């Protein structure tokens, strides 16, 4: 027989030490300890077993608790084997994040046979987010059901199976256009070439998965024939990072993670981004230039949907990482294979077809919110700045 000792009250130094001193003098065996402080209020749970669970130890603990100005309760526990149920990390994020959203997520979890063991706040800014440690439930079912609740509540929910890889060194690979940077570079080039409307129409269809990406890219690049490299330079200088992008990369790098980009766009932009942000890997299309002007052709194979997934796998092999240790972030249909190949695929302000297929989705406009989905709290982010 084991005994659960639950201690509550105002937190102050010496509570845990005082109670453990009592247990040490009564030959109690400490099997488990969990402690949390919420806005100055203490909740401490200790499971003890052995000879030191009888009347004497309870009396001594109660006396010590009174002296420490806390309340102690005792709950006998039947001995049982440790749970072998699968655990998941569920992150709920919103700006704002109303109680109704948390209630909806909790109801869905219960309906899936999953139990919430712990809730921890990850951030209050720029979005509010909480991480739930959940026992039980099937990963695919949880993702499906919680995705439905996320849409209904207009919040974001990510589900990731608990494993040793979650906080280990990992690889993050991002799309570039409309993910790492704002807007589509090819449309900026088209504006310089005077064919923006036509290119934008084709781009929208391609990103929604309605057109073959390679064919659509070659058709759009063909319209840029004759554009001087000076115009490409102007576009490169005008590219703006997505809010939070620099914080995301800097935090990951300082935590020892590897960061790469793979783009259906062009090296004319990604080369500068790699140097500016200190990225470890980059792959993109190469625009052919002859006599200082674009020829309207792409050199070599096009970085399409399949090539993006292949690049992620290659980057992982080069870093000696398992697929479970990879994270992919994208917004368009040409990112789908990459998101599926990663251990965690995140849709960032993505097209519906991408949101439906991804493991997690973000609808807030801040790219550093990805860090919360990875379980990295705001205070650790600020320490890495």
Percentage with pLDDT > 90 across the chain: 82
Q: What mean pLDDT is predicted for residues 247-256?
A: 95
For the question of residue 280 being annotated catalytic, the response is no
Could you tell me the pTM of the whole model?
0.85
pLDDT in tens, 131-161: 999 999 999 999 999 999 999 999 999 999 8
Where, residue-wise, is CATH 3.30.70.260 in the chain? 2-77, 87-161
CATH label, 2-77, candidates 3.30.70.260, 3.30.300.20, 3.30.1360.200, 3.40.47.10: 3.30.70.260
Where, residue-wise, is CATH 3.40.50.1000 in the chain? 171-183+240-384
CA separation for the pair 170, 39 (Å, rounded): 33
Annotated catalytic residue within 175, 280, 304, 331? 175
Q: What mean pLDDT is predicted for residues 188-198?
A: 96
pLDDT in tens, 268-283: 999 999 999 999 999 9
Contact 248, 374 (CB under 8 A): no
The domain defined by 87-161 folds into: Alpha-Beta Plaits (3.30.70)
Percentage with pLDDT > 70 across the chain: 98
Annotated catalytic residue within 11, 21, 79, 177? 177
For the question of residue 27 being annotated catalytic, the response is no
* CATH classification code of 171-183+240-384: 3.40.50.1000
């Amino acid at each position: 027989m084991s005994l659960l000792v639950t201690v509550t009250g105002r937190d102050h130094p010496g509570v845990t030490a005082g109670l453990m001193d009592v247990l040490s003098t009564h030959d109690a065996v400490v099997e488990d300890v969990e402690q949390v402080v919420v806005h100055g209020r203490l909740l401490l749970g200790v499971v003890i077993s052995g000879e030191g669970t009888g009347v004497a130890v309870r009396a001594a603990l109660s006396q010590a608790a009174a002296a420490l100005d806390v309340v102690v309760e005792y709950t006998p526990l039947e001995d049982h084997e440790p749970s072998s149920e699968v655990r998941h990390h569920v992150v709920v994020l919103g700006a704002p994040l109303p109680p109704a959203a948390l209630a909806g997520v909790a109801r869905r979890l219960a309906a899936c046979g999953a139990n919430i063991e712990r809730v921890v706040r990850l951030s209050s800014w720029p979005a509010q987010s909480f991480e739930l440690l959940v026992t039980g439930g099937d990963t695919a079912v949880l993702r499906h059901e919680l995705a439905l609740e996320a849409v209904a509540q207009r919040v974001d929910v990510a589900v990731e199976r608990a494993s040793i890889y979650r906080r280990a060194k990992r690889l993050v690979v991002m799309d570039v256009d409309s993910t790492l940077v704002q807007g589509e570079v090819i449309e900026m080039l088209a504006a310089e070439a005077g064919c923006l409307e036509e290119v934008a129409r084709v781009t929208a269809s391609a990103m929604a998965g309605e057109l073959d990406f390679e064919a659509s890219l070659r058709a759009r690049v063909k319209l840029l024939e004759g554009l001087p490299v000076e115009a490409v330079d102007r576009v490169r200088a005008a590219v703006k990072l997505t809010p939070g992008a620099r914080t995301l990369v800097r935090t990951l790098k300082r935590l020892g993670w590897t960061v790469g980009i793979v783009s259906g766009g062009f090296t004319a932009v990604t080369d500068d981004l790699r140097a500016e942000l200190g990225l470890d890997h980059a792959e993109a299309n190469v625009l052919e230039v002859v006599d200082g002007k674009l020829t309207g052709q792409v050199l070599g194979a096009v970085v399409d949907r399949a090539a993006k997934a292949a690049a992620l796998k290659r980057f992982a092999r080069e870093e000696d990482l398992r697929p479970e240790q990879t994270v992919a972030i994208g917004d368009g249909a040409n990112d789908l294979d990459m998101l599926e190949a990663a251990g965690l695929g995140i849709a960032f302000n993505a097209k519906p077809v991408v949101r439906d297929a991804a493991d997690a989705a973000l609808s807030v406009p801040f790219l550093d919110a990805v860090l919360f989905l990875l379980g990295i709290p705001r205070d650790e982010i600020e320490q890495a700045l």
